[in-house]
Structure 1
Amino acid sequence: MTVLPDDGLSLAAEFPEATRKQWQSLVSGVLRKSGANDVSDTAAEDALSTELEDGLTARPLYTAEDGAADPGYPGFPPFVRGSRAEGTAVSGWDVRQRHTDPDPKASNEALLADLENGATSVWLAVGEAGVPVTGLPQALDGVYLDLASVVLDPGADFESAARELFRLYDEVGVAPQTALAQLGADPLGLAARTGRADDVARQSAAAAALAARCDHNYPGVRALVADALPYHEAGGSAAEELGCSLATGVAYLRDLTEAGLSVDAACAQLEFRYAATADQFLTIAKLRAARRLWARVAEVCGAGPAAAAQRQHAVTSPVMMSRRDPWVNMLRTTVACLGAGVGGADAVTVLPFDSALGLPDGFARRIARNTSSILLEESHLARVIDPAGGSWYVERLTDELARAAWSWFQEIERAGGQASGLRSGLVADRLAATWERRAGDLAHRREPVTGVSEFPHLAEQPVQRGPAPAAPSGGLPVVRRDEAYEVLRSRSDAHLAATGTRPRVFLATLGPAAAHTARATFAANLFQAGGIEPVPTEDGRTLAESYASSGASAACLCSSDTVYAEQAEAAAAELKAAGATRIYLAGRPGESRGAYERAGVDEFLFAGADAVAALSAALDDMGVA
């Protein structure tokens, strides 16, 4: 409803309309005051922009001038705004819980608890990495198979797992027309994880036959999943994840149509699985772009408008899950779940916060399923259809991400398709290059990991969990954001177990607290990220006296540049004389580098430096194996 001025509610009508040029002028003025004298009005936006992966850039300001192509309406091609016209407003998204315990009895107890307390479907690992195929009936005992969808993760055992599930339908009297399941056949995803691409052709033929059976007899059962998680877990970017999933989907469409299914029936047998990360806007854009891209593929292949709607399963990213301070994972998965829900995922799996440590316990599974429940029932997140629609940033990011993903997809297709890309190393090399760049950002702490590279807690008691079954391996690597720091922390743990103490560094704070607090805090966080315990200067004692009682072999000077100029040289000399084998200085060396080094400073620690390399070298110097 339009509020007219004569109602006395003129809102912003009394204010002149602001222009982009005015904004640029104001921002450039602020930047010049901060010392950036060469920033012009037009360069202000560039100065505040953030580079993302895939050649994308997040700008500081978006207006109607930055709009992208028309995304259409929810439930209609190109499905950017959702696969269904009603979105998730009717029943919310499918809360899909994952189970990997190989004990059928324990899995049964866990999945029944989930279904009774908010979960609407189960995702069950079957075969080598989960419940034995013969244990499937026991694991699903008591589950209403015509009400709760069962999603299998069977790896290479998808044929035998499907036969066992179909047999179970007959045994418990589930009519084929009412059965709900996803059989999880994914030959290309399995080849990506195991490196065994030679068996793809046979497995693809078996998967196509299984899909034909589902199409003829089980309308509520899908046979194949185009799983993009192997590419995400190998370090791939959002565009690379999308491109690989598209190439996989196209390969499966070819297999299914060659097996006799129509294009529409083939599309109906596919589900796509994507990672949801703690970058909520990128997650939202990725899911929206995925629907747009698949709609284009389906259209070119001759699918009808309804069949071109992509079925999406979003899983909170395993790559972002930390093993140290795992409680922080609850925050990461909450943001990821929000992004998946807003992005329009049909089903969302929130991994338990302790999933990186082994088999999750009941509390962790409860928190995981309640994450969706709170967002659905208390935040009412699903009651709005495409809540991100109309955001100039989201629409522009969706468009740019879709173009980058389409370019990578075309490159894979030119190389012969996804199977050829896996065999030739094209996919592996591309993902490795992306992860190498990201690993550099992690090492330099340009991408911080709370509880790991930032604000670590050395005194925290480790969370212990039972071992989980080994996942398929031998193909693409499996990376984690915390892996470089985990190596450092493990070295520290081993040193603690062997000697009774962690490696230590003495923080030599110079001058008043106002001068040294910022850099002392920086240094303490940095050293703890490598498992090195910082020991502060004791009040009322000289540096030499405090150092002697610290139990440290190295020292780090902490203060302001002004105090450094007055005291750093003498302090370094005093600490060297007291026995410090290595002296660090928190801050950039500047023009005084030579004087500091002559006084005994060995290394400078500052924001943007390679923290992993510095900490690894520090552990080496301290004799930590």
Structure 2
Amino acid sequence: MEEEKKEEELDLQAILKQAESKTDFPEVTFDEFTPPTDEEWKVACEALLKGAPFEKVMFTKTYEGITFDPMYTRKHTEDILPKASYPGMGDYLRGTNVSGYVGKPWGIAQSCDETLPKENNELLKFEVEKGSTVYNVRLDKATLLNKDVKDAEKVGDDGCSVTTLDDIHTLLDGLKLDEYPLYIYAGASALPMLAGVAAKFNACGKKLAKLTGFVGADPIGQLVENGQNYASLDQLYDEMAETAKWAIKNAPSLRTIMVRDDVFSRGGASDVQDTAYVLAIAVEYIRQLMKRGLTIKEAASQIFFGISMGANFFMQIAKLRASRPIWANIIKAFGGDEEDMAMHVHGRPALFFKTVFDPYVNMLRNTTEIFSGVVGGLDSYENEPFDEPIRKGDVFSRRIARNVQVMLQEEFGLLQPIDPSGGSWAVETLTKQIKEKIWAEFQAIEGKGGIVKALEEGYPQETIAKTLADRFKALEFRKDRIVGSNMYPNMTEELLDKREEDQAALKKQRQADIDAYLSDMDDTHKAECLKALKDSATVDAALKAFQAGATIGEIRAALNKGGASETLKAIAPHRWSERFEDLRMTTEAFKKAHNGDNVKVFLANMGPIPQHKARADFSTSFLQVGEFDVELNNGFKTTDEAAAAAKESGADVAVICSTDKTYPEIVPDLAPKLRAALPNATIYLAGAAPKDLEPVYREAGVDDFISVKANCYEILRFLQKKKGMID
């Protein structure tokens, strides 16, 4: 056996040596193949489409006002290919690093949102132990609003509850912050949280100069999300400038501004809208910082971008690639040099596109979104658990989310290609198109006097509301498809347990811990520190106030100058599936309250199975979107049999299913019999009737038609209302 193995190795070596000795390879040409012209290709496509309109079927319109072509070729994109630009250079179209992810992988920044600081500290350590490379802390709403636990409506609703310096000590205890970046989004102002982090470092004797990542604020983003802030924008800009100056001096590798598109993305914005508005917000921050004495180099060094990755795969790649040169040109216009022009992006899956029903499909959605973000060249990413729309993640859902990133890096080789989409005819074309669209929308905002003026006018709110309405309308007609929601519902599904936390118990526990920590503080010294903070409004003064026992709410009260916050129309959060989820939940609630009663659907399947199956399957899926009970059968030979079965069923809805060819004979005979058998039922015909036959069918007793052209949402709502499920 050993001898045979040696002989095989010798044979293989001989083959390899022979191959190496052959340096001349025959030239391979494709002259025998004649490249088809565009017109020839179109003719071939039209033949396969069998009469379907080429222009309608083969071109896809997007919410960005861009139309996807069916095919992209070099001859159509020759002029825009990046032949003279390289990654990490110029306007950063092809990425901010010369070596891509080869030398520096994107940061795996799984967010940690446990309510209690100690539990969140344990989760942060666990995430890094299992593959994360960033400590990403998510704060709850009360903390983002600088409210103490005693004043919070809820504790830990979206993240970790932080009120005192002891909470920050507990939260960050034992973290290797000299090795891994720290991400904390702090809300409208980063000053209190930055002071707390600095106090923690001082207590541990660690050097802040080694701290990387961001403790970032986004006052305009918070204003759009909530409709108002806890202070005026002018005051928040002052605090932003103070944190920036302090960080530049004490923690030069830490950024203090986190411009996020979450509020726009969750509002249903297109990729053009949310990117343009985020860039406009960043420009406003640059102006305000420079107005307060910072240079363009200093101001640009403070900004991190948070971008949501949506459902349109190629569009996400294109928007990231397009954003970088736009930002580079903006910084250049302010007088910045090439180093200042690099755009640093942290990505996350867009919550707008996640579903409550069939939530495991969210794993697939998240995977495509992170893949597009990586190909587009982001710097770090937090992949949310699949159950994000329902509850905080658990060990399983967090593990899946984290391991998707680990696998993409370790198993799928995504660290190797540098600008993998560079030169792609499709992506380069889309990048050019969306860059022009983003720039035009950005200029529209600038033309209104900047993002704040535009928001006060209501322009971004109106444009996003229009896009949201367009999305909902497309979903109603199922032109846009959500697996498990408006298409292919799982009728046996049981919703995941929300695992709601006991708010009363949590609040009581948190307050007890806070009271115990504050019990031996010197109130006189604390009052002196808070007065000093009120007079100076500096990070160092806030740090001392924290050390003296001040809470985040007391620090906020000392910082506030009494100026009222601006108010504007907030952009409400949505998810694309929410209306269809409401349909199903309405049905479930009615069934629960009425001993399982439901909208009962009878399928009047006519003829053998091959004759009615396609329409019956379509109608079943269509009506099960509302979680209605559909009675299946193998078809009826005569209209009398169908009518008798319909009467016995006592159904609320009857659907005639057969073929267009047989309908002219079947419908005029069957529809009146169904009407007699089920006087109060709604009668549908499966399929869209020709214009000349629609009046005939309606006169026979058909109320409406179920087809790809039908408004699924409105039909289901109508049936729920008729059943008494809704008013």
TM-score (norm 2): 0.80
Quick one: structure 1 residues 595 and 155, their matched pair in 2 at CA, closer, same or farther if it must change by over 3 Å?
A: same
More deviation in 137-146 or 183-192? 137-146
Partner of 2:224: 192
Partners of 2:649 and 2:664 in 1: how far apart?
Answer: 25
Aligned residue among 709, 715, 725 for 1:608: 709
Partner of 1:485: 580
The 3-state SS of whatever aligns with 2:388 is coil
Aligned residue among 91, 96, 115 for 2:109: 96
Aligned residue among 266, 269, 273 for 1:236: 269
Query: Is the CA contact (8 Å cut-off) linking 1:428 and 1:476 kept in structure 2?
Result: yes
Partners of 2:501 and 2:712 in 1: how far apart?
Answer: 31
Q: Deviations over 1:135-190 (max 9, x none)?
A: 23222233211122221122246322111111111222321121123112111111
Partners of 1:47 and 1:462 in 2: how far apart?
Answer: 36
Partner of 1:148: 180
Is it true that 1:137 corresponds to 2:169 in the alignment?
yes
Partners of 1:70 and 1:306 in 2: how far apart?
Answer: 24
Partner of 1:177: 209
Partner of 1:333: 366
Cα deviation, residue 608, structure 1:
2.8
In the TM superposition, 1:497-516 aligns within 5 A as: 497-501=592-596, 502-516=598-612
Partner of 1:343: 376
Partner of 2:695: 594
Partner of 1:24: 39
Moved over 6 A (4+): none
Query: Is the CA contact (8 Å cut-off) linking 1:102 and 1:469 kept in structure 2?
Result: no
Aligned residue among 562, 581, 593 for 2:661: 562
Aligned residue among 161, 164, 175 for 2:196: 164
Partners of 1:111 and 1:550 in 2: how far apart?
Answer: 57
Cα deviation, residue 54, structure 1:
2.5
Partner of 1:313: 346
Partners of 1:600 and 1:170 in 2: how far apart?
Answer: 81
Partner of 1:585: 685
Query: Is the CA contact (8 Å cut-off) linking 2:190 and 2:243 kept in structure 1?
Result: no
The 3-state SS of whatever aligns with 1:381 is coil
Q: What is the aligned-residue identity percentage?
A: 29
Partners of 1:523 and 1:586 in 2: how far apart?
Answer: 7
Is it true that 1:85 corresponds to 2:98 in the alignment?
yes
Is it true that 1:220 corresponds to 2:253 in the alignment?
yes
Cα deviation, residue 396, structure 1:
0.8
Query: Aligned letter for 2:226?
Result: T
Partner of 1:48: 58
Q: Deviations over 1:431-475 (max 9, x none)?
A: 1112111221111111100110110112201111234899xx972
Partner of 1:531: 627
Query: Is the CA contact (8 Å cut-off) linking 2:182 and 2:211 kept in structure 1?
Result: no
Query: Aligned letter for 2:67?
Result: T
The 3-state SS of whatever aligns with 1:394 is helix
The 3-state SS of whatever aligns with 1:341 is helix
Partner of 1:573: 672
Q: Deviations over 1:207-234 (max 9, x none)?
A: 1210111111102210001111211111
Report the RMSD for the aligned CA atoms in angstroms.
Answer: 2.4
Quick one: structure 1 residues 15 and 105, their matched pair in 2 at CA, closer, same or farther if it must change by over 3 Å?
A: farther
More deviation in 137-146 or 434-443? 137-146
Query: Is the CA contact (8 Å cut-off) linking 1:226 and 1:248 kept in structure 2?
Result: yes
In the TM superposition, 1:121-136 aligns within 5 A as: 121-126=134-139, 127-128=143-144, 129-133=158-162, 134=164, 135-136=167-168
Partners of 1:252 and 1:565 in 2: how far apart?
Answer: 67
Partner of 2:11: none
Query: Is the CA contact (8 Å cut-off) linking 1:181 and 1:222 kept in structure 2?
Result: yes
Partners of 2:445 and 2:45 in 1: how far apart?
Answer: 46
Partners of 1:513 and 1:103 in 2: how far apart?
Answer: 59
The 3-state SS of whatever aligns with 2:661 is helix
Partners of 1:595 and 1:395 in 2: how far apart?
Answer: 52
In the TM superposition, 1:63-74 aligns within 5 A as: 63-67=73-77, 69=80, 71=82, 72-74=85-87
Query: Is the CA contact (8 Å cut-off) linking 1:412 and 1:418 kept in structure 2?
Result: yes
The 3-state SS of whatever aligns with 1:85 is coil
Partners of 1:550 and 1:306 in 2: how far apart?
Answer: 73
Partners of 1:312 and 1:442 in 2: how far apart?
Answer: 31
In the TM superposition, 1:398-417 aligns within 5 A as: 398-417=431-450
Query: Is the CA contact (8 Å cut-off) linking 1:537 and 1:543 kept in structure 2?
Result: no
Query: Is the CA contact (8 Å cut-off) linking 1:273 and 1:312 kept in structure 2?
Result: yes
In the TM superposition, 1:244-263 aligns within 5 A as: 244-263=277-296
The 3-state SS of whatever aligns with 1:319 is helix
Partners of 2:502 and 2:427 in 1: how far apart?
Answer: 39
Quick one: structure 1 residues 440 and 24, their matched pair in 2 at CA, closer, same or farther if it must change by over 3 Å?
A: same
Quick one: structure 1 residues 604 and 183, their matched pair in 2 at CA, closer, same or farther if it must change by over 3 Å?
A: same
Query: Aligned letter for 1:131?
Result: C
Partners of 1:469 and 1:215 in 2: how far apart?
Answer: 42
More deviation in 460-469 or 296-305? 460-469
More deviation in 335-344 or 275-284? 275-284
Partners of 1:173 and 1:479 in 2: how far apart?
Answer: 45
Cα deviation, residue 69, structure 1:
3.6
Q: Deviations over 1:474-509 (max 9, x none)?
A: 721112110221221121111121123232212221
Partners of 1:246 and 1:124 in 2: how far apart?
Answer: 24
In the TM superposition, 1:268-417 aligns within 5 A as: 268-417=301-450
Query: Is the CA contact (8 Å cut-off) linking 2:190 and 2:215 kept in structure 1?
Result: yes
Query: Is the CA contact (8 Å cut-off) linking 1:101 and 1:468 kept in structure 2?
Result: no
Query: Is the CA contact (8 Å cut-off) linking 1:207 and 1:223 kept in structure 2?
Result: yes
Quick one: structure 1 residues 543 and 226, their matched pair in 2 at CA, closer, same or farther if it must change by over 3 Å?
A: same
TM-score (norm 1): 0.93
Partners of 1:34 and 1:365 in 2: how far apart?
Answer: 44
Cα deviation, residue 12, structure 1:
4.4
Query: Is the CA contact (8 Å cut-off) linking 2:114 and 2:123 kept in structure 1?
Result: no
Query: Is the CA contact (8 Å cut-off) linking 1:537 and 1:547 kept in structure 2?
Result: no
Query: Highest CA radius of gyration, 1 or 2?
Result: 2
Query: Aligned letter for 1:103?
Result: L
Aligned residue among 122, 127, 135 for 1:109: 122
The 3-state SS of whatever aligns with 1:275 is strand
Which structure 1 residue ranges, 5 or more long, are not aligned? none
Cα deviation, residue 125, structure 1:
2.2
Quick one: structure 1 residues 437 and 12, their matched pair in 2 at CA, closer, same or farther if it must change by over 3 Å?
A: farther
The 3-state SS of whatever aligns with 1:488 is helix
